[in-house]
Amino acid sequence: MTKPAIGLTEKEKKQIKAVAKELLQKVTKEKFVLDWRKRQQSRAQVRVTIEEVLDKGLPEKFPPDLYRQKCDVIYQHFYDSYFGEGKSIYAKADAA
């Protein structure tokens, strides 16, 4: 979330890391239900959660176009990597 560099201070970088952790925790515990990718309403809830958490937590330096780009990239990453009910590509890597 810190790329491209937009002149962030160390405090802002720590703020972004905290937002990323909060987002991952919130989405994995509350929004990734069984087959969340198959239901439009579930996908929309994930997208709205991403937007709300980033809007609330990112530093003011993020211009609107970069904010939207980050929301898109994060949503796509979640869609590609998390299958629901605690299943993800990362769980497979941990089991190996």
In a domain, 40, yes or no: yes
Number of structural domains in the chain: 1
Rounded to 5 degrees, what are φ and ψ at 83? -95, -15
Question: What are the Cα distances from residue 1, in Å, to 22, 36, 44, 91?
Answer: 13, 24, 21, 22
In a domain, 4, yes or no: no
Query: pLDDT tens, position by position, for the chain (96 residues)?
Result: 767 768 888 999 999 999 999 999 999 888 888 889 999 999 999 999 999 999 999 988 888 999 999 999 999 999 999 887 667 887 755 555
In a domain, 72, yes or no: yes
In a domain, 3, yes or no: no
Question: What are the Cα distances from residue 7, in Å, to 25, 28, 80?
Answer: 27, 30, 30
pTM here?
A: 0.86
Q: Show the domain range for 87.
A: 10-95
